[in-house]
Structure 1
Amino acid sequence: MSTTTLPRVRNQRPPQPWLTPSRLGIYAFLLLSAVFFLLPLYVMVVTSLKPMSEIRLGQIFALPSQPNLEAWAMAWSSACTGLKCEGIQVGFWNSLKIVVPSALLSIFIGALNGYALAYWRRPWAGWLFTILLLGAFIPYQVHMYPLVRGLSMLGLFSTLPAIVLVHTIFGMPVMTLLFRNYYASLPEELVKAARIDGGGFWRIFFQLMLPMSTPIIIVAVIMQVTNIWNDFLLGLVFAGRENLPMTVQLNNIINTTTGERLYNVNMAATILTSSVPLFIYFISGRWFVRGIAAGAVKG
């Protein structure tokens, strides 16, 4: 009597519908959130493309009937920022002169501090790290008067080196925290092996640690460029008249009124001011998330 072997029937789950109530709720929430955050940007863009005759009609959500870039050209090259009418381009180049050295110095010093605190431990390292963390949470206004007095005594107040030094100091605690946590998440055996091979402090840092720090360096660049570029208070106090950053120049354009207030020029200047940090974030956003996650494992 022959027996036939029946194939095993696996318990297969029935196919789930693509659109479930929970998924529909999530998509609806994301859509509403996107509309909420993009609506001001839409108003700014369409207003900057309208002539003043259309803006006076009060239809802020309507598309421009005859879009043009005259307001953008005026905001860049001929808008008044006080007594001078040179546009916001002066503030753009001043912001570049401030951001590049400030970001590079604060990131380098933060990486060096984080590396030293993660692998070259000393009895006072814990206290130093605590002091740096406390410095990250103290408001700028508390340091304002001592910094003004100190920089005045050194003859640096209202100069480009002064604002670069201030941004470097204020960026160092957060950068140290980022790099310290990132280096603490790496295998310590790498540093021990480099020490056995004769590597010293600086050689290990430049030839081993920095090449492995690309994700967290990109995070640091995005954070520092955004913070320094968007700063208003420190640039207004420490930069001096000849080095006012783009945010201060934008404030001067909006508050300088001789006759009719040009809302299209104000909107165009605002978009130009925020374009640099937005561009940097868009081209490196995935690295930002990856670097944050890499430094959050331990430490």
Structure 2
Amino acid sequence: MRIDLHAHSTASDGTDTPAGLVRNAAAAGLDVVALTDHDTTRGYAEAIAALPEGLTLVTGAELSCRIDGISMHMLAYLFDPEDPALLAERELVRDDRVPRARGMVARLQDLGVPVTWEQVARIAGDGSVGRPHVASALVELGVVDSVSDAFTEQWLADGGRAYVPKHETDPFEAIRLVKGAGGVTVFAHPAAAKRGRTVPESVIAELASAGLDGIEVDHMDHEPATRARLRGLASELGLLATGSSDYHGSRKTCVLGEFTTDPEVYGEITRRATGAFPVPGAGGA
């Protein structure tokens, strides 16, 4: 059983539509895929309508969080998408994305980069605009060779020359909100040092005590030694250890199913969730 619990669509910063994502997941031989767009559930209906027979969809989101000045992402699975408290917080984060992206465009222009808001908006389409869309504009302009190359101190990384902060949720509050909506929480790529500063293990222990369910261990931004260390930490703290691709379509080099989650861990996630249930495919259009 092949299970990938972290993938993005055009509802945020992926390049596959939600329908295209589930079709590509089935073609990649996955049995389960999670739709975890940034701070939005907007892709759910399209993905469910197109869900192929034999593929199960886990509904979720990747929540933007920050603690002690360090940006982090919290994967939330199988929560009630209409829960008022969690919905209000997601909307607060999402609504701050446009002024933030406009601010990054302005900073890049001040640095002599001929990027425009119209270009970034075109790349984002109907998705929740984010740094990857600005990074894609830099690729289009030939400023950097890849989206990853834009996430440096020279450009868009935390504290970088063109970085602009946005509203981000305290992770302890995120855990409380997701739990209140019947969901399950997993700290995404906790040791992805290439993205900037990472949260200390002492804070991960505090999050575990506050109800965090798991950490994403097997991920493209974790070297083998890092994965081994995180797996040990998960065992020590009683956390679930997940694996996933963090697929973004053509925006990143990772492919669906590049890393996967153990079926027993997936089963425990579904047992803990009360806000929603996995959706089995019945042969979508």
With normalisation by structure 1, the TM-score equals 0.25
Larger radius of gyration: 1
Structure with greater proportional helix content: 1
Structure with greater proportional strand content: 2
